[in-house]
Chain A
Amino acid sequence: MQNTDSRNILLSIIGIAILFVAVIGISYAIFMFTGKGMKKNTISTGNISMTYTESDNVIAIDNAVPMSDSAGKLQKEYFDFTVSANINGKAAIDYEIRARRTDYKNNNRLPNNCVNIYLEKEMAGKYKSVLEPKTFIPKDTDLENTYVNKDSMLLYKSTVNSEKNATITDKYRLRIWIKENACSYDRVMTYKLKVDVYSELSKK
């Protein structure tokens, strides 16, 4: 009899405790809210690569003589290079082809005004002029977010566009020659030029 009573009391205490916890739990649950989102918001990156490729031929004119612009544009000594863009996604890339002198420390360097620079771009299988004969003149860049050597000369700028995915290849041909009646010199002089390509996402 006593055992039964004790068991009943114990069961009652357990029942009350369970009820207490349940009531407290329910009471608190009423005053908190969680709205869980089901929709995912996702960004995935694509791919952009720019490549500048130089051909094996370089301009190396020994004992160069002054020549006219019409002759200079046709001379068989030239330098070919390619600018390629591989874009996954919709994008526009601005790029600039620039040239810089690499012989500033050379005492026998030809002055800038003695040499013409001429650039062509391949269009529909033929090379056409994009920079008429011009002497070296440093010019600032239009690119805003890319460091560009300020002592370089802008030869040509262009934009490549991709709507979804695109591989674009632009071919260029560079010629240089000593201008007619521009300079006189009494010793061996040199003229060294290097081509660089800079690019960034277009702001347009």
Chain B
Amino acid sequence: MKETEQLDKNYSKKIFISLLLVTLLVVVVISFSFAAFIKTEGGISNTIHSGEITMNYLEKTNGISIENALPTSDEKGMVQLGENEYFDFIVNTKLVGNMKAIYEIAAIKDEASTIPDNEIRLYLEQEKSGTYTKVMKPNNFIPSPKETKIGTPKGAMVLKRVVRKRGKKEIKKEKVTKTIDNYRLRMWLGEDASVGGNKTYTVKINVYGKTE
């Protein structure tokens, strides 16, 4: 009897120690994960803040749809404003704490596209003080040779890379930093493209984000 009791005691002790170790392990892993994204900067007292980031991608308008497209100069393509001749979208970011976020706007080409990449022109603008201004000049579709560090997959084209970081004043005041980035995409058939044969070209816009 005594022996049995002793065995039971030992067993319970083992279970308790195991649970304790597991709990300790979980705490360590979570802390390490957060700690990897914390930086202390000069001027700030020895305080560590855990951060929070929110990103949101919103498609404002219908996609571009141009039928019977004809070769178009860059001068004309950059200003086309007809129905379904441009595509507006928004990227929202919210930063709390001492966080730095990076996002990439990427064009993902539909594999069924039959117009060659070098006959398509892509152009990106961003709204600043109420006016859209160029952030990527007219370019052919140039696929990325490999996946980027931010997550844009191989074969997609990075249109723009943005870094969002909170300033020292904002961090001191413990404010939340919200940013709303409005973008406008245009796409057209390049001036030297050949016409005919009922060909198509389709892209979708994705946004990939990561913290540092």
Contacts and interface: CB of A to CB of B under 8 A. Distances in A.
**A and B: interacting chains:** yes
B63 A41 contact: yes
Contacts, number: 151
Given A45-B196, A46-B67, A40 B204 contact: yes
Interface extent on B, as a size class? 35 or more
Interface residues of A, number: 35
A88 B87 CA distance: 24
A90 B68 contact: yes
Interface centre among B56, B67, B200, B210 (most CB of A within 10 A): B67
Nearest to B150: A32
B200 A43 contact: yes
Interface string B62-77: 1111111111000000
A42 B195 contact: no
Contact of A45 (B22, B198, B203): B198
Interface in B98-144: 103, 108, 110, 115, 120
Interface string B150-172: 01000000000000000000000
A45 B189 contact: yes
A38 B211 contact: no
B176 interface: no
B66 A42 contact: yes
A14 B115 CA distance: 53
Contacts of A89: 67-70
Interface SS, B side: strand
Q: Which 3 A-B pairs have the closest CB atoms?
A: A89-B68, A35-B57, A46-B68
Given A44-B201, A49-B196, 19 more contacts: A23-B29, A27-B33, A32-B209, A34-B206, A35-B57, A37-B89, A37-B204, A37-B205, A40-B110, A40-B204, A41-B187, A44-B66, A45-B70, A45-B189, A45-B197, A45-B200, A89-B68, A90-B68, A201-B70
12 contacts: A5-B11, A20-B29, A32-B210, A33-B53, A33-B207, A37-B59, A37-B206, A39-B87, A40-B203, A43-B69, A45-B115, A201-B70
